Amino acid sequence: MTLDVSVVGGSGYTGGELVRLLLRHPGVRLARVTSSKMAGLPLHAAHPNLRRATELKFTSPEDLETCDVLFTAVPHGASMGMMGRYMSLGKKVVDLSADFRLKDPADYPKWYGSEHTAPDLLGRFVYGLPELHRAQLKGADHASCPGCIATASILGLYPLLRNGLIDPRRIIVDAKVGSSAAGHEPSPSSHHPERSHVVRLFAGTGHRHTAEVEQELTFGERPRVSLTVHAIEMVRGISATCHAFLTDGPAGRAGDKDIWTAYRKEYGDEPFMRVVKDKKGVYRYPEPKILSGTNYCDVGFELDPLSDRIVVVSATDNLMKGAAGTAVQCMNIMCGLEETAGLDAIGLHPV
């Protein structure tokens, strides 16, 4: 079975990653890649790494035709207005914007500053994080991929909350992100002289991915997550440091063995989850540098017995596991393909 797939909004960083993955995917044929600004130009005009990898040219979004899978990688707020048309063209749709991630329409004015214009469609989308929603993704027609910071935060904390090991009312996530997370369009803060050599707090409170983290990590009581985000001098990658406090269980508070058991229980069979916790060495904790271009999420932890605190570190490539890689993983599951198809890249070292 070979699927015909198309990408809407292929000139940005996420769209470029989708194209790179789909061109080498054994189960798909990339039919169209759209861009309003670059229609008629070869794909390598936006993505120089694709030179001679394909003869495809960008087409206008107006020229889209029906396909088996349609990936939509348009800016936040643009997808909801066009989703009716996208659904008519793609037998299955994988949306990479924020427009269909949150289930409650009331959350959009709170976190995104505007009303949702297609609230009737929200319930048709599965939150596209396979480690949590693989069963719902199987055979689904529509998936909404998580935000990059949300992905790292959720995957770091999920086994602990799922197994009742930490207090859901006291969770702090401090995320460091590379510049590609800000997208393709430049801004004063992304201008090289302003971005170079910085460790810049750009969201002390109120980051919109907080809503996704709380939504997806609700097991009875909705957790209270305090999310802080720093921009650092790195192009790709997210390192999310999560601070939480242990709860009392039947045998007292959890130790290293209990934490290991929880992570192995939830992630032992996951193809893209790795627990990284070595006693010595440079890379004894997760490090986004060596995950560039891969679909892995590495998670590690350390217990602080003096304060009953656990520190969890979760690392990803924000353009891969935080965006395009997860989108392809969702497609594989939705269409009955091998889940890891097209996603077998191993990170580079040194870089």
CA pseudo-torsion sign 282, 311, 300, 291 = negative
Burial class (CB in 10 A: 0-12, 13-18, 19+), 158: buried
Residue type, 198: V
- Is residue 148 among the annotated active site residues? yes
148/241 Cα distance (integer angstroms): 14
209-216 and 148-162 helices, crossing angle to 10°: 30
DSSP state of 203: E
- Of 35, 102, 45, which is closest to residue 72 (Cα–Cα)? 35
In contact, 91 and 67? CB cutoff 8 Å: yes
Within 10 angstroms of residue 62's Cβ, the number of other Cβ atoms is 8
Question: Partners of 94 in the beta sheet?
Answer: 71, 143
Residue with tokens 């892995």: 296
What would the two tokens of residue 41 be?
Answer: 């130009």
Phi and psi at residue 26, to the nearest 5°:
-70, -15
- Maximum alpha-carbon separation in the chain: 65
* Per annotation, catalytic residue among 67, 148, 242, 335: 148
- Of 349, 241, 230, 345, which is closest to residue 289 (Cα–Cα)? 349
200/213 Cα distance (integer angstroms): 22
What would the two tokens of residue 157 be?
Answer: 């904390």
In total, the chain counts a number of residues equal to: 351
Strand arrangement, sheet containing 28-33: 28-33, 3-8, 67-72, 90-95, 142-144, 126-127
Point out the residues that are catalytic.
Answer: 148
